Every structure is written in structure tokens, then in C-alpha cells.
Amino acid sequence: MVVITRSQGHKIVEQMALRRAVQSVIFVIHADFLDSFLDAALYNNNLATSVQSLHIIFHRTFPPIPKLRQCLLAIRNVVDLELQLPRASAANWVRLLQGIRLPRLELLHTDCPPFSLAQFLNEHAAITHLNMSGRNYRGHDYYELANTRLSFLSEIEGPSSCVTSLVRDSPTSRVAAHCVNNADFALPLICLLSSLSTSTTALTVLQLDFDPTDYDLLRRIANAAPFVTTLKLVERSRSVSARMPRLRRAWNFYHQWAQDLAQLKLHRFALKTSLSMVQNPGSDEDERKLLTQWRLDHYSTHDWIYAWDQPSVLRHLTLWYLAESKAGILSSWDMVDGCWLKTRGYLDPPADAFC
């Protein structure tokens, strides 16, 4: 039996670390890999300093906070950071991020609650892309971000209340704002759009969760973000508005909806709702008729000139209706030679089909 001394063991680990290939992209999804990586990095610092994209994802197990913190301290040149720790408490997050400095960080994707994230964001003001994917935020958490300024932020996705705080006076060109909790529903749409209007660059891509009672939604968007070319609207109904009759939806007032659409310079438009948008769900003829009624040039020349002095540039349109049921239908249409042509259709489509 061969006995290996402690010093010999360290020597073996060191030799293995020096032979270990340097990787610029690292995925940490279990503790064993984390232990192996940290042990090797003790002997080969290049393993840590060469990492530019780090993805820490512990969906099913409790994250080893002390070791994750050690990892973040070592990988100081990271540009792209993902932290998905749904089992971590707010206190866990504070212990993990406190004092961490990543001077090259530009992209952050995390489910960290705003209460624990605010200080980290304040210390990483060079972030350009932010995705706040958490679903368990407290209703008042977004107040923690009220004084946070990300002067280089070009793209953000997250709860509407958080987005409202972070886009103010930022060069944001792509925004996705979701209703995650009651605080998001309670926030008047005008507050979010008011923040969007302060963007120091042209906002071109916008995704919004909206309440069906927002009848003048398109008009407000046109006023706040007149240069949007891609717009995705997702209906999020609370118990009261969910019982609204189908005919009360804004898009069923065809002429006004067409006028409001004409105020925007949209190339792509997508709309998702839990109700049916046509009399016969899935009917190409009914859907084409609906889309034709959404084009202002379907109406009188006087109305067309009154609303806008340029023809529509809308070329791609996606509808997802009956979305909360197994009978959900997703249809994509392209404008070809002045006519709407259906390019794809799904029955009970997967969530990632809505693009």
C-alpha cells in the first residue's frame, strides 16, 4: 500500500492545477465542481483571472454561500455574471455580495431581491445589461432602487417597479418590464412610461406587461417612446379586470387602435391575451380580417392623413390569444406585397415561441 504524505498530496494537486485548461466561460451548478475549481485556483491563478463569463446556478440545492463568495473574490475579471439562487434568503445574498468588486462587469443576470442588490449595483455603475429574473420580490422592495443610477445601462429586463427606477436618465434602448407582484400592478403605467421618456438615447425595443383597462396604451407609448420599432405587449389580468368582456379590449375598437398603431414606427408587433381575438379561433380568414382592420390605410384618406403622414412600416405581427388555456393559439404574420401572409401557427404553443 502506497502512503502519500500531505506535502506529496499538495504537490499532486498543484501539478494537476497547472495542467488544467484555462476556460473563459464557467458554469457552477453543484458544490463538487466549485470545490475542485477553488482548489485548482489556489495553485494556478490564471484559472480564476481568465474567467470572463461566470454562471452560478443552484436551482434545487441550497447554495454554499461562503464558497460562492470565495469564487466571486477570485474571479475578478468577469464581464458577464449570472447568479440564480432561488433558495437563498435576503441575508444570504447580503453576505454573498457585500464588498465584492468586479471592475469589468457589464452584464448581470440575477434573481437577487432588490433589497440585497441595491448596494452591489451602486458599486458597479458600468453595467450595461441587467436582467432581474426573481419572482419572490416583496411588494416594497423596489424602493431600494430609487436612488440607484446606472449611467451606461442599455438593456434591462425585470419587474415593472424596478425598471421604473433604473431606466430614469439612462441610455436604455431595450426594455422588458413585467408584472411580478401587487406592487407592479399598483404602479400606474404612466409612471413607467414617464421614466422611459427620460432615456438619453432612442428606445427601440420595448416589452410591457399591461392591464386590459389601459385603453390608451399605444398612445402613451408613442408619446413616451416614439422611436420604438419592436413592441411586445403581454396582458396580465388581476381578478377584477380578468372578468372584463372581450369586446372591452382596446384592440377591438378597430379604428382608434389603427390610429394609435399608426403613431408608432413599428416594424414588429406582438400581442398576448387570455381571451380570443377572433370569432373563430385559429381561422386564417378571421385573423387576416382583424389585422387588416388594424391598418389605418383600411379607412378613409382623411383619417389616414390626420393620424400620420407616412405609410405603415409594420411588417411582422404575432398574436397569442386564449393564452391561459390548452386551446391557446399563436399566429405569426408577415406583410408581403401589401397583404398579410401567415408564416407559422401553434396550438398550445411553448412559452419561448412568443418572439
All residues at 6 or more sequence positions from 273 whose CB lies less than 8 Å from its CB, including other chains = 212, 235, 249, 320, 321, 323
pLDDT at residue 137, as a whole number: 65
Domain assignment present for 339: yes
d(CA 254, CA 80): 44
pTM: 0.86
Query: Is the pLDDT score of 181 beyond 50?
Result: yes
C-alpha grid cell, residue 243: 372578468
pLDDT at residue 305, as a whole number: 45
Query: Is the pLDDT score of 351 beyond 80?
Result: no
All residues at 6 or more sequence positions from 93 whose CB lies less than 8 Å from its CB, including other chains = 85, 112, 113, 116, 117
pLDDT at residue 297, as a whole number: 62
Domain assignment present for 82: no
Which domain covers residue 274, as residue numbers?
A: 250-296+312-354
Query: Is the pLDDT score of 162 beyond 60?
Result: yes
Candidate ranges 2-6, 150-154, 200-204, 292-296; pick with highest mean pLDDT: 150-154
pLDDT at residue 141, as a whole number: 60
Question: What percentage of the chain carries pLDDT values higher than 70?
Answer: 81
Domain assignment present for 329: yes
Please give the tally of structural domains in the chain: 1
Query: Is the pLDDT score of 10 beyond 90?
Result: no
d(CA 52, CA 75): 8
Residue scoring higher pLDDT (95 or 3): 95
pLDDT at residue 189, as a whole number: 81
Domain assignment present for 131: no
Residue 101 is given by DSSP the state -
pLDDT digits (tens, 9 = 90+) for 208-242: 998 887 888 999 999 999 999 999 999 986 654 44
Q: If you average pLDDT over every residue of the chain, what do you get?
A: 84
Domain assignment present for 336: yes
d(CA 54, CA 46): 15
For range 20-28, the mean pLDDT: 81
Residue pointed to by grid coordinates 399591461? 210
pLDDT at residue 212, as a whole number: 81
Query: Is the pLDDT score of 207 beyond 90?
Result: yes
Give the number of other Cβ atoms within 10 Å of residue 292's Cβ. Answer: 14
Domain assignment present for 109: no
Residue pointed to by grid coordinates 427620460? 198
pLDDT digits (tens, 9 = 90+) for 106-135: 999 999 998 899 999 999 999 999 999 876
d(CA 206, CA 251): 18
Domain assignment present for 112: no
pLDDT digits (tens, 9 = 90+) for 61-87: 899 999 999 999 999 999 999 999 999
pLDDT at residue 296, as a whole number: 67
Question: What percentage of the chain carries pLDDT values higher than 90?
Answer: 51
d(CA 285, CA 300): 23
pLDDT digits (tens, 9 = 90+) for 187-205: 778 888 999 999 888 899 9
Beta strands per DSSP E along 58-160 = 80-84, 107-110, 129-132, 155-159
Both ends of the chain: CA-CA distance in Å? Answer: 62
Domain assignment present for 341: yes
